[in-house]
Amino acid sequence: MNLCQDLAGKLGFYCSQVITKTDERCTYISTPFVLTHGKPLDIYVIERSDGIVITDDGFSIAEMMAAGINLSDRRSWKGISDIAIRYGFTLEDSGAIVVKVQAKDVEKWLQAGLGLLAELAAWETERIQSKDADMSFHDAVEEVLRRHKLQKPVSTDASAVFGGREYLFDFKWGDTFVDVVRSSRQAVNAKLRKAVEIKLSETERSDTLFIVDDRADQQKGREDCAVLGLHSKAVQFTVFEKMAGQQFH
């Protein structure tokens, strides 16, 4: 099987045939996706006697940690693991994202792998832009959602399609898509752009909620909520925590 000739040409990416240290035939495919510090997210296709293994290089988690995202324990890998699972892949203990397929299905799985890497890059960017790289505020919001009086089911790293475009959210709380917002100009601007895009593109009313971190500065939190509230539901974290069980309209 010559993937560089059969498949990579269709995708338009650089491709080369290499031999691994264990003497396995491997196809390296360069993709346009990169992490914040410039690390490329590339695909490796390894031919084995019992099938084809499609994987990344296994170093993405280490690179995200170097960028300031706290991924020091396996619990904090859940967001990445959920993305991998969504595309049919597995996040292994080594940090590699892997799937094993049959040769006849390689093209389909390469397309899935490209979608996975694109979403992984977006996930990292959102974490850094929100200034919640250490996930502390994210964890605080999750704790309040799970003990909320309304007892709605909570899932992490949710996604929804509005106007034909997929958007990522930190949580799905019942039917509501929830994003946490660090109270910084960069984070608020990123979420504001997202709220405006959804408002302009949706075909029916979306159920979204932005929870703003106001623990250090409640006045700033109120101002940020006022801006976001023009386009979506928004609430200060301290208010949300105190008024657990009350619907926000």
Which tens digits make up the pLDDT trace of 20-41?
777 788 899 999 999 988 899 9
Q: 19, 13, 193: which is closest to 117 by C-alpha? A: 13
pLDDT in tens, 66-105: 887 878 778 788 889 989 999 999 999 999 999 999 989 9
pTM, 2 dp: 0.58
Question: How many CA within 13 A on the CB side of residue 89?
Answer: 28
Cα–Cα distance measured from residue 79 to residue 158, given in angstroms and rounded to the nearest whole number: 9
What are the chain's domains? 3-129 (3.30.1460), 136-242 (3.40.1350)
Task: List C-alpha distances in Å: 39 to 57, 61, 121, 122, 247.
Answer: 11, 11, 10, 14, 43
- Which pair of structure tokens corresponds to residue 157? 């790293």
DSSP code of 34?
B
Q: Which two tokens stand for residue 40?
A: 């490329």
Residue 230 pLDDT greater than 80, yes or no: yes
How confident is residue 249, by pLDDT bands cut at 50, 70 and 90? very low
- Quickly state the pLDDT bin for 179 (edges 50, 70, 90): very high
pLDDT tens-digit series, residues 153-164: 999 878 888 887
Nearest to 228 by CA among 188, 198, 201: 188
Q: Give 135's pLDDT tier (boundaries 50, 70, 90).
A: low
Structure-block tokens of residue 215 = 């623990």
